Structure 1
Amino acid sequence: MLALFRTFIRTVEAGSFTAVARELNSSQPTVSRQIALLEDHLGCLLFQRTTRALTLTDDGRVFYDHAQRTVEAAAEAESAVGRRKGKPSGTLRLACAGVFGRLHVIPRLPRFRARYPDIEIALTMNDGFSDLVEEGIDLAIRVGETTDASLISRRIATSRRVLVATPEYLACHDAPRHPADLAGHDCIVYDRLLTGARWHFASSEGQISVAVAGPVHVNNTEAVRACVLQGLGIGYTPIWHFIDGEIENGRLVVLLRDFEPPPQPISAVYPSRRFLPPKVRAAIDYFAAEFDLDPRLGITAV
């Protein structure tokens, strides 16, 4: 429709279909048909046509003023979008898990804002997966495997998992030497459905999977850390939970070092690869670089 508006404006200014056709490298019948289409759409005549001249009707004069403003506004809108393409700006709707967000996303937001002052943050934190499309989320930082094929996922980091317990717990229980020994231990079971759990390991023996149980089940990853620190049992958790030096200062002991749990992926997830806004690309690259540089996390960017 804007193209018809532009043709109409040029016809008014040129004074004839033939002159406009020459400007547009088109034909007089084509220009005439475009004006007729616009008149049909508006339900009125814009020009009085004679063999010698075109004359604007009253409706044509009214429409000309409005059409000019519309075309100018459209040009300004296109220009504004063009200016934004190269500069990250606007509101970034960011989602992440509550614990990971509190420990590793929020502490990095001040530097992000300093680098990109034209980006505002709307942060959603929960332990479930947000519906990115329904909730209008631009970017989610997800911990664990992503399975939604309708979304674009870029792995930005990988975190080691570890098996840990307190010295106090181990003073009362023999330290396990093999994953099979976990059957005789109190294990902190992270299971939202509270239906049991299996822990997985890799070693020179190959892949090992063992069923575990214990008196404490939790549905929050931060609760695993808290329960382990209270001596309630053995925890199986990514090392990014421990940012206060709990392992280095001996408050926690890493167990079964010869049996490596599979690493936990951390991914940037977003709805579409097409026309990725600069604000989203900037955030993905920023967090990938931040996670790669921070040795506390035990994260190595992929």
Structure 2
Amino acid sequence: MDVVSALRTFLRVAETGSFSAAALDRGLTQPAVSRQVSSLEEHYSTRLFHRSTNALSLTVEGEQMISMAQEVIDAVEALGEAASADGTMASGKVKICLPAALGLYISDRLPAFLTDRPGLSVDIVFCEQPSNLIGEGIDLEVRLGEVSDSNLICRRIGWTTAFLVAAPSYVQRRGMPGHLLELPDHDCICYHRGGEGRSWSFLNGADIERVRVNPRMMFNNTGAVHRAALAGGGLAVLSHILAREDIAAGRLVKMMPAFPPVRLPITVVYASRRNLPLRVRAVLDFVVDAVGEDVLMGTAEAVTA
């Protein structure tokens, strides 16, 4: 039995709660996954899972084995890193979750990054809410705003910049707001995460003003907000990643630059592991560098230009 391979399979079954899901992730058949877990149980003379026709759950011994199994995998990957002094040797798949706007920004730059790394592949998932990293097999996730989960390693890499915008057709029809107090009287296109989205936050000098708006449209994806704004649907707060080309081309008009939307920290999070695999570290460095290349994501100071 290949103990390391069996331990990897055990961890994926524990994370996904499913033999079939683990088989899909590992590129194996479901019977092969079942055999690996059974061999591991026989090897250590202990039962790792409670099995029934409708459910699969870890035993106490299985729970205890997770951290030890992860240490073994981390040590094996660390040996691989030590054997390779050149970062271009990173190989394997990295799964990363990104907010939609930043995901588009990263996807433009990903092909060039992968050109010299033939053994590396990246699975990008657009996510609007925090994920269960271990349960969903996610190596890295970028979150906007403060991160409250103390079990994760967090690395702040930049700050969001957004603009309040509308299409010229909307401005012609409804006019341009002159003050934050006028926003509730306008048609607003809102982005929501888990029920949020009916209020916008702006800087008024050194103060933060939170404005309650009355959305005509709400979406849980910023790309949809962008398209609705271009179609003249109303005012929208959009990431500079989505809006700047349209502003430059006149397809969108920037509103009230004296009251910029509040900027949020951009943070990369990953599970607390002693050794970060080379493949994950390579993608992490790529994301950090890509964000750092954009001046509007680089500092915590207010950006109105």
TM-score, normalised to structure 2's length?
A: 0.65
Determine if the alignment matches structure 1 residue 216 to structure 2 residue 214.
no
Q: Which amino acid aligns with 1:202?
A: L
- Alignment partner, residue 189 of structure 1: 190
Q: Decide whether the 8 Å contact of 1:292 with 1:301 is kept in 2.
A: no
* Aligned equivalent of 2:73: none
**Equivalent residue runs for 1:203-242 within 5 Å:** 203-204=204-205, 206-242=207-243
Residues matched between the structures, number? 224
Corresponding residue of 1:300: 298
Q: Secondary structure at the match of 2:297?
A: coil
Counterpart of 1:41? none
Which consecutive unaligned segments of at least 5 residues does structure 1 have? 1-75
Question: Corresponding residue for 1:37?
Answer: none
**Closer/same/farther in 2, CA of residues 115 and 141 from structure 1, 3 Å limit:** farther
Which residue of structure 2 lines up, in the alignment, with residue 279 of structure 1? Answer: 279
Structure 1 residues 268, 192: closer, same or farther in 2, change over 3 A?
Answer: closer
Residue 22 of structure 1 aligns with which residue? Answer: none
Alignment of 1:130-209 (within 5 A): 130-192=131-193, 197-204=198-205, 206-209=207-210
The alignment partner of 1:283 has SS state of helix
Q: Distance in 2 between matches of 1:196 and 1:92?
A: 34
Match of 1:289 in 2: 289
1:207 Cα deviation (Å)? 1.9
Alignment match, 1:270: 270
Task: Report the 3-state secondary structure (helix = DSSP H, G, I; strand = E; otherwise coil) of the residue aligned with 1:285.
Answer: helix
Amino acid at match of 1:146: V
Cα distance in 2 for residues equivalent to 1:196 and 1:78: 43
State the Cα deviation string for residues 12-63 of structure 1 (Å, max 9, x = none): xxxxxxxxxxxxxxxxxxxxxxxxxxxxxxxxxxxxxxxxxxxxxxxxxxxx
Deviations 1:200-249 (Å, cap 9, x if unpaired)?
11122722111001321222211111111111110012212236x10011
Report the Cα distance in structure 1 between the residues aligned to 2:197 and 2:287, rounded to whole angstroms: 34
The separation in 1 between residues aligned to 2:236 and 2:285, in whole angstroms, is: 32
Residues 301 and 205 (structure 1), Cα distance of their counterparts in 2 relative to 1, 3 Å cut:
closer
Q: Deviations over 1:236-275 (max 9, x none)?
A: 12212236x1001111111111112111332221112521
Q: Distance in 1 between matches of 2:104 and 2:79?
A: 40
Q: Aligned equivalents of 2:294 and 2:208: distance in 1?
A: 29
1:279: how far off? Answer: 2.2
Identify the range of structure 1 (277-286 vs 224-233) with the bigger mean alpha-carbon deviation. 277-286
- Structure 1 residues 89 and 110: alpha-carbon distance in aligned structure 2, compared to 1, 3 A threshold: same
Contact 2:96 2:122 in 1 (8 A): no
Question: Residues 274 and 184 of structure 1: is their aligned pair in 2 closer, same or farther, counting only changes over 3 Å?
Answer: same
> Which residue in 2 is equivalent to 1:38?
none
C-alpha displacement at 1:119, in angstroms?
A: 2.2
**Distance of aligned partners of 1:77 and 1:217 in 2 relative to their CA distance in 1, 3 Å threshold:** closer
Once residues 174 and 158 of structure 2 are traced to their aligned partners in structure 1, the CA distance between those partners, rounded to angstroms, is: 35
Corresponding position of 2:120: 119
Structure 1 residue 193 displacement after superposition: 5.1
**Residue 203 to residue 108, structure 1, CA distance change in 2 (3 Å):** same
Contact 2:95 2:137 in 1 (8 A): no
Inter-partner Cα distance in structure 1 for 2:171 and 2:77: 66
* Counterpart residue number, 1:105: 106
Output the CA distance in 2 between the equivalents of 1:177 and 1:126. Answer: 34
Aligned match of 1:260: 260
TM-score (norm 1): 0.65
The one-letter code of the counterpart of 1:214 is P
Cα distance in 1 for partners of 2:266, 2:101 equals 10
Please give the alpha-carbon distance, in whole angstroms, between the structure 2 residues aligned to 1:294 and 1:216: 30
Q: Please list the CA deviations of residues 148-191 of structure 1 after superposition, one character each: whole Å capped at 9, or x if unmatched.
A: 22111112222211100111111122311111110211111222
Question: Take 1:230 and 1:281, find their aligned partners in 2: how far apart are those partners?
Answer: 41
> Alpha carbons of 1:265 and 1:250: their partners in 2 closer, same or farther (altered >3 Å)?
same
CA contact (8 A) 2:160 2:263 kept: yes
1:127 is displaced (CA, Å) by 3.2
Q: Distance in 1 between matches of 2:85 and 2:206?
A: 53
Q: Secondary structure at the match of 2:201?
A: strand
Q: In the superposition, relative to structure 1, how do residues 271 and 194 fare at CA in structure 2: closer, same or farther (>3 Å)? A: closer
Q: Counterpart amino acid of 2:238?
A: T
Q: Secondary structure at the match of 1:268?
A: strand
Structure with higher Rg: it is 1
Paired amino acid for 1:300: G
